């Protein structure tokens, strides 16, 4: 990075393919890609980057959501990623939308995400509302609380504890379970600080207005998603807030729609389409 920090990334697909940047989900590293069987077929150069403090990326004390597009711009310039598309999953959704709001993404796809929850606190489930209110009241204390007890095993237990049947089937697949666990282990390699910071940033007020996004945005959700963090209801609220959004609900999918329907998501992201 221009300030001397290290930003770690991984990539799949042809080097001359359509560039797509993945903003990974909560606490996972760059290693957990998606659409493995599709990137070559679709001619996609998929790049995934660790956010500061996660995986092998250096921490950036005091970072905000507004800083991520700067990191992405620097990475894109270094790797020659012209005409960049961006994908965000779960906790990575606000980071992808920050890139869209900045205008550095020619098209965006977000999967299993929600809106700026600080704007709809009263209608949230009690557990989520408590987190949003804690961040609003004292961000530093909330960040310390999110870090306390957070590790790869705790995160694995949380995401697998009450997931939908399609997600359970995928988590029960040894190869996917191993890849997801490895991504969590690497995500926490520097401790819980990166995850805790991400949580404060995504649960707090976003420093951009999704209503200002002018590029196309596909908002993907699984109809069977059981997560209180990114339910189909929250997905609908996000799609409604973005003027250029197209809501895409896969009725038979759960919260892991990015992996169960990754080829479809990539195909729609990279193909030319007229939104007017």
Cα separation of 202 and 64, whole Å? 9
- Tell whether 129 is covered by a domain: yes
For the chain, which residues score pLDDT lower than 70?
272-276
Q: Using an 8 Å Cβ cutoff, are 239 and 211 in contact? A: no
Residue 136 falls within a domain, yes or no?
yes
Using an 8 Å Cβ cutoff, are 29 and 54 in contact? Answer: yes
pLDDT given for residue 272 in this prediction = 53
Q: What is the pLDDT of residue 16?
A: 97
- pLDDT tens string 186-229: 999 999 999 999 999 999 999 999 999 999 999 999 999 999 99
Look at residue 3 and tell me if it is in a domain: no
Helix axes 152-161, 174-187, angle to 10 degrees: 140
Provide the residue range defining the domain that includes 90.
Answer: 9-270
At CB < 8 A and 24+ separation, what contacts does 178-185 make? 179/31, 179/32, 180/28, 180/32, 180/156, 181/152, 181/156, 182/29, 182/31, 182/32, 183/24, 183/28, 183/29, 183/31, 183/32, 184/27, 184/28, 184/29, 184/152, 184/155, 184/156, 185/152
With beta carbons less than 8 A apart as the criterion, state whether 241 and 211 touch.
Answer: yes
pLDDT for position 274: 43
Does residue 2 belong to any structural domain of this protein? no
3-state secondary structure 171-230: HCCHHHHHHHHHHHHHHCCCCCHHHHHHHHHHHCCCCCCHHHCCCCEEEEEECCCCCCCC
Domain count, the chain: 1
**3-state class (DSSP) for residue 96:** helix
Spatial separation of the C-alpha atoms in residues 235 and 243, rounded to whole Å: 14
Cβ-based neighbours of 266, under 8 Å, separated by 6 or more: 20, 35, 38, 39, 42, 44, 46, 109
**For residue 4, is it within any domain?**
no
- CATH code where residue 80 lies: 3.40.50.1820
Q: What is the 3-state secondary structure (H, E, C) of 23-44?
A: ECCCCCCCCCCCCCCCHHHHCE
Q: Take residue 116 and report the two structure tokens written for it.
A: 């700026």
CA distances, 138 to each of 105, 134, 193 (Å)? 32, 6, 17
Q: Identify the helix (H) or strand (E) that includes residue 155.
A: helix 152-161
By CB atoms closer than 10 A (0-12, 13-18, 19+), residue 276 is exposed
Is there a domain that residue 88 lies in?
Answer: yes
Check residue 271 and give its pLDDT: 86
Q: Which two tokens stand for residue 243?
A: 């003027």
Question: Is residue 102 one of the residues assigned to a domain?
Answer: yes
Does residue 69 fall inside a structural domain? Answer: yes
Distances from the Cα of 160 to the Cα of 53, 201, 239, angstroms: 24, 24, 26
What is the value of pTM for the model shown?
0.97
């Amino acid at each position: 990075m221009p300030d001397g920090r290290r930003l770690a990334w991984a990539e799949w697909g042809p080097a001359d393919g359509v560039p797509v940047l993945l903003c990974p989900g909560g606490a996972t590293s760059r290693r957990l890609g998606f659409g493995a069987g599709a990137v070559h077929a679709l001619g996609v150069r998929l790049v995934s980057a660790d956010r500061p403090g996660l995986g092998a990326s250096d921490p950036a004390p005091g970072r905000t959501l507004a800083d991520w597009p700067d990191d992405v711009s620097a990475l894109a310039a270094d790797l020659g990623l012209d005409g960049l598309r961006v994908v965000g999953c779960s906790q990575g959704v606000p980071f992808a939308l920050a890139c869209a709001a900045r205008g550095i993404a020619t098209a965006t796809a977000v999967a299993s995400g929600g809106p700026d929850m600080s704007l709809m606190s009263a209608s949230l489930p009690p557990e989520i509302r408590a987190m949003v209110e804690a961040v609003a009241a004292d961000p530093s204390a909330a960040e310390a609380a999110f870090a306390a007890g957070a590790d790869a095993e705790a995160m694995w237990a949380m995401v697998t504890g009450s997931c939908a049947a399609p997600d359970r089937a995928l988590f029960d697949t040894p190869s996917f379970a191993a890849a997801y666990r490895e991504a969590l282990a690497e995500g926490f390699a520097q401790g819980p600080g990166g995850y805790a910071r991400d949580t404060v940033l995504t649960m707090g007020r976003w420093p951009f207005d999704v209503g200002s996004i002018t590029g196309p945005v596909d908002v993907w959700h699984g109809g069977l998603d059981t997560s209180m963090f990114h339910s189909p209801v929250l997905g609908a609220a996000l799609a409604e807030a973005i003027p250029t959004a197209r809501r895409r609900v896969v009725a038979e999918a759960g919260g892991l729609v990015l992996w169960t329907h990754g080829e479809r998501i990539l195909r729609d992201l990279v193909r030319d389409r007229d939104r007017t």
